[in-house]
Chains A and B, each alone.
Chain A
Amino acid sequence: MAAAVGHSVLMEGEEHGLSVFFRIDDDVFHTYSTFARGCESLTDSYRLLDTTPYGRQQAFEDSPPGWPQKPTYG
């Protein structure tokens, strides 16, 4: 649900994200940032559920009619 509508609207300006930095001596460099589904690498659970018939059971998934589904990330 949040993904469909937009995190920034529902979450009052907060949005989760992953950023990566690299250091050379005292200098720090920004190399990468990702948001929303880009952060799924934080957990193995979704990939594990992806191996099951019912999958993640979230509404965004293309599953057969009637499959158990809850709001995305709900």
Chain B
Amino acid sequence: MATPEILHTGIVSRDQWLTERKKLLALEKELTKHYDRVNAERRRLPMVKLEKDYAFDGPNGKQSLKDLFDGRRQLIVYHFMFDPSWDKGCSGCTGFVNALGDLSLLNKQDTTFVVVSRAPLAKLDAYKALTPRSRPPNTTIAPRRKWPQPWATPSLWRVRSTA
């Protein structure tokens, strides 16, 4: 059987390559600067005060949204797709969560990261037990109140303890 053709880009001299690489570098620098500009605007976005209470079920029982901050100033919440009628979580979300590295840097910057899902805690725990690299979760959620986002309410699946 013939070896399948390996598709690749053109093969050139080192000098030619360097010329092309420098052209790309100019675009990359443009992108980096644009990224900085967009982030600068994001840091200036106004905020909206939440008037409702949100409750989350977790290994430590029921927690409010404020509890999830763990005393820190900022909170990042990842909504993990797990419809209450499903037996397994979304594979894409699972990939993202499993790929998370050490988040201690966030904590040092006064920021807590949690994962929430709408499925009941028992389902989240069962699913976590199935997935080899799953993080130790601590929470889930419970409540019937509306989440401020398009994605309804949460069970909270806290991915990484902030301890």
Contact in complex: A18, B83 (CB < 8 Å):
no
A13 to B75 Cα, complex, angstroms: 24
Chain B nearest CB: distance from A8 CB in Å?
8
Interface string of A40-74 (1 = CB under 8 A from B): 00111100000001000000000010111000010
Chain A nearest CB: distance from B74 CB in Å?
6
Q: Which residue of B lies closest to A11 (CB)?
A: B81
The reply on B50 being an interface residue by CB < 8 A is yes
Interface of chain B: mostly helix, strand, loop or mixed = loop
One of B76, B82, B148 near A14 (C-beta < 8 A): B82
Contact in complex: B149, A23 (CB < 8 Å):
no
Interface of chain A: mostly helix, strand, loop or mixed = mixed
A35 to B115 Cα, complex, angstroms: 14
Contact in complex: A16, B92 (CB < 8 Å):
yes
Q: Which residue of B lies closest to A26 (CB)?
A: B66
Contact in complex: B81, A23 (CB < 8 Å):
no
One of A16, A18, A28, A42 near B81 (C-beta < 8 A): A16
Return chain A residues, CB-CB under 8 Å to B72: 23
Contact in complex: B9, A64 (CB < 8 Å):
yes
The reply on B56 being an interface residue by CB < 8 A is no
Interface string of B145-156 (1 = CB under 8 A from A): 000111110000
Interface string of B77-121 (1 = CB under 8 A from A): 111111101000010110111011100000000000000001000
Q: Which residue of B lies closest to A73 (CB)?
A: B92
Contact in complex: A21, B45 (CB < 8 Å):
no
Contact in complex: A23, B75 (CB < 8 Å):
yes
Return chain B residues, CB-CB under 8 Å to A8: 150
Contact in complex: B99, A29 (CB < 8 Å):
no
Most buried by B among A13, A66, A68: A13
Q: Which residue of B lies closest to A27 (CB)?
A: B49
Contact in complex: A42, B65 (CB < 8 Å):
no
Whether A42 touches B96, Cβ cut-off 8 Å, given contacts A14-B81, A14-B118, A15-B79, is yes
Chain A nearest CB: distance from B156 CB in Å?
12
Contact in complex: A16, B93 (CB < 8 Å):
yes
Interface string of B17-61 (1 = CB under 8 A from A): 000000000000000000000000010010111100000000000
